[in-house]
Structure 1
């Protein structure tokens, strides 16, 4: 994976001020060095300036960027962050059309596919990507992002310039840009955060190219459009056929994503999702005479404090042990200390350029630093719960009857920590409700769908368009902050499109959560793992962590210069911290409750301070 950045300006010739523009675009690229620590490059032509930071995964010698390819006297230029999983198929088609290739990299395939197919090249791609291509014939730039937003891409239109970067920090590195947040950005932070509205960059003027979207920018306009979305179709396969096709699509996605010229590993929690990925990967590696490397996460002393609940029915370690023995992987158990979990909250903000999922982020940040010591690429079980219906809210009658985001039910909690004057100025509930309603308008449905099926499609779409992208955003930033590439086979667009139309009674076969997935994995997992109850991403149960957060937050609230004073109700937050711990009052999803809200506020204060964010109400 890599980092890309650049800008376009059709009102002047950038080559005329080469040194000035080189310095600017290099600075934008340097802000993304963590994404690509292996090499770098810049390119400036008449109306475009590109920068690239490379993490070498395939063809170290032949995949350097910005990549140039000359056809009929015109030089096309590409900067690309991502990975194609059908590189060989596309290359062979292009060879039959007469093209020559000078590397084995997917980068050259992406660029050549654009030269041949133009904007339609994305129809050929199976992969994860953020792409920018300078087209010298049309004097235009083509940008696109993968179908579910596994790889990020942000942009900003400012005066005569169109700026873009893999991360917001790349845009902020341009001297013409200042970090400003208006009332709508604050609605994102306090009303929806750590989720973001698709397409929203939170900072004023900064946008995200939505998953499945592309942009075509020339001297006349910036045309931003959707090139792919889920389609509602009749599902005609019986259950046995559905199991067979699901198994094929999933296993094929896993094997495609194991292609790498550098060491590869998997994340293994002992849950069904990561165990399937690891089992298929282990078999694939074994055929090549290799042993799969696997990693699991936990927290120091968690065994001492862990208490089983409906939310977290069991510890991971016993199931990890079963899987390691079954697939004979070379496994490493990673544990994070409470102090580091709190320390890395700031690093997580720097990785994301925004406050995020608190210790869910900081723990992953820590674990990825450890994995990177030995590996550059790993596979994860992310996205399975969103597409197979694994979360509790897929089965919650209240969610069916209530028009709200399923993972953010307690909206009053969000309002009560805000300063009353600020709350009066923010259209908080209206904004959140508008984003919810706008999302429902995009849900693909059939005329024949019953009321129940329509609502099922809505909940499914909300999860893929919002919750899944939030987790993918977290995964990308926390991993790439260490130069570690994580691939998500459950995010394969062919699999998600197929499952979108599979009846829910199939997904919950025998009234069993993810029954379809379990049936698709029969024969490759031990029964103890195959039928294990869902247990989410691990979190610390050590009371010392919450106490440390309270101490830190109280220190911030007593600092008269802390920027968060502009926004929050200090008395209310102090009162909460003086009460008994409340782990049952969720701020966001299953993993963020009251303690994580404290961490979120700590992150907000650090973010405002470090980025010198200007608040505009």
Structure 2
């Protein structure tokens, strides 16, 4: 994995302004701590930071290729999981290769198929190719949106980068947000509207889209979309195909020239990945898969079961590790660090995020990075198989709003009167919901129940899953760790999309179809274990620290947080006795999580010098 950035300018000579390109590159150094490279001409400049996973010498970037008199320049962030399949096709067509990197395969694929090359890729990617002769830029992002890619049009050009922070290094991009950007941050939170880059003029290339840019034109092309059609496979055939697609995805994502490990909570998804990975690696002589889980100091004393988190993971992670004979590491985090590193969580995302849920993943990734460069994780199974509570609760199915936003009034009550008047929060939220529903690929003649479930799956795939993918990419790459997500294989997503709800919920269980496909892979107790979310701290120390830090900000009228929240309403929360849950961006946050989010919001406004226009 890597960090990429580029700048096209039709008036300024880029070779005379390399300091700007260098600053953009340096801001992405965390994504690529192993190497760096650049290429520039008068019109275009590309910068790259590299995390070496495959072919240290043959995969250097920016990578150039010649075809006749034409020169092409590539910068690329990602992994192709069908590299060898494509290499063989291209060899048969007469292409030659200097190394064994997927970077070279991607570039040669563009030479062969042009902009249609994306149709051939199985992987996670964000890349840009500059046609020197035609002075044309082509960019593309993977189908599911695992890898990020932001861009902004300038007065006389365009800039792009893996992260917003790199764009902000360009003098023409200012940290300014308008009413829409403010609504995105305060109402939708981490779950941004696809394509919205929050800052004025900044866009994110949507998943499954490509972009072609020349002097007088910018064209966006949707090269991939879900297609609704009747599912004709029997239950037995469906179970077998799901099993094949899942195991094949894991196998493909184990390819690496550096050591690889897995994240293991003891839940269904991570356990399945770890079990398949352990089996496959042993076939290749790999001794002892390493697995990692996370916990918090004091949780064994202070944990309290609830509907959202019924139990802790430690017993189950250890049980699975013993079953697959992995070298398991349970990383226990210092609660003080959770509040101390909230700033790093903001810097990693370039936005306020999921507070300690983000920071804990950052700290876990930092620990894993001491011994590994690549990890594999179980994100997104809940979105494609239907694992969340809102897939099963009638009040969520009939709410007429994003299921994770049903109690939005309690959040809106914490905003300042001026902000509420400016952004019309309820209206904005409902407009974004209707906008999402209008995108759903409808299946003619589908019964009402399955039609509604299709809508729910689309909302989760396109509006909630990106929250977790953003989190995974930013927090891990901030430490220089690559995390792969096999459940995001587009073949699996496409197949699951048309399977009727009665099959997905086979046996009356959440993710019943996945559970059925994992028979013989996992112990029965693990295969039937109820869903447990990513763990959070229950230690009162974290509550006390976040509360004290927030009160300091609330008592300082010069802090930017005062301009966006109702200070009295939040102060009232800090004065309540005990801890309790409050709805906030897709989950029930306990008070310390809410306090931490508000701390991150203030950090973002202050440290990024955000100007609200």
TM-score range, shorter chain: over 0.9
2:590 and 2:488 map into 1 onto residues whose CA distance is 27
1:49 to 45, 54, 76: 45
1:386 to 383, 386, 404: 383
Residue deviations 1:368-407, cap 9 Å, x none?
1100000000000000001110000011101221211111
Conserved? CA contact 2:139–2:211, under 8 Å:
yes
The aligned counterpart of 1:429 is: 426
The aligned counterpart of 1:69 is: 65
The aligned counterpart of 2:187 is: 191
The aligned counterpart of 2:6 is: 6
Matched, 1:360 2:350: no
The aligned counterpart of 1:396 is: 393
Matched, 1:228 2:224: yes
The aligned counterpart of 2:252 is: 256
Structure 1 residues 503-522: aligned runs within 5 Å: 503-522=500-519
The aligned counterpart of 1:538 is: 535
2:474 and 2:22 map into 1 onto residues whose CA distance is 21
1:422 Cα deviation after fit:
2.2
SS in 1 for 2:210: strand
2:193 and 2:590 map into 1 onto residues whose CA distance is 21
SS in 2 for 1:441: helix
1:141 and 1:257 map into 2 onto residues whose CA distance is 29
Matched, 1:143 2:139: yes
Structure 1 residues 154-303: aligned runs within 5 Å: 154-290=150-286, 291-303=288-300
Residue deviations 1:456-497, cap 9 Å, x none?
111000000011111000000000000000000001000011
1:113 to 109, 118, 121: 109
2:52 and 2:16 map into 1 onto residues whose CA distance is 28
- RMSD in angstroms over aligned alpha carbons? 1.1
Q: How many residues align?
A: 612
The aligned counterpart of 1:122 is: 118
SS in 2 for 1:407: helix
Moved over 6 A (4+): none
2:472 to 455, 462, 475: 475
1:600 Cα deviation after fit:
1.0
1:10 Cα deviation after fit:
2.9
The aligned counterpart of 2:99 is: 103
1:414 to 407, 411, 415: 411
Residue deviations 1:6-34, cap 9 Å, x none?
1112345x3xx5132x2211111111000
Deviates more, 1:136-145 or 1:513-522: 136-145
1:296 and 1:582 map into 2 onto residues whose CA distance is 26
SS in 1 for 2:553: helix
1:340 to 337, 340, 344: 337
The aligned counterpart of 1:133 is: 129
Gaps of 5+ in 2: none
1:597 Cα deviation after fit:
1.8
Structure 1 residues 534-573: aligned runs within 5 Å: 534-573=531-570
2:513 and 2:563 map into 1 onto residues whose CA distance is 50
Conserved? CA contact 1:344–1:365, under 8 Å:
no
1:581 Cα deviation after fit:
4.2
1:520 and 1:133 map into 2 onto residues whose CA distance is 40
1:593 Cα deviation after fit:
4.0
SS in 1 for 2:434: helix
The aligned counterpart of 1:453 is: 450
Conserved? CA contact 1:581–1:594, under 8 Å:
no
The aligned counterpart of 1:442 is: 439
1:578 and 1:531 map into 2 onto residues whose CA distance is 42
2:389 and 2:114 map into 1 onto residues whose CA distance is 43
2:573 and 2:247 map into 1 onto residues whose CA distance is 47
1:418 Cα deviation after fit:
1.1
Gaps of 5+ in 1: none
Residue deviations 1:322-349, cap 9 Å, x none?
1111100111110111101111111000
Conserved? CA contact 1:344–1:363, under 8 Å:
no
1:114 and 1:591 map into 2 onto residues whose CA distance is 46
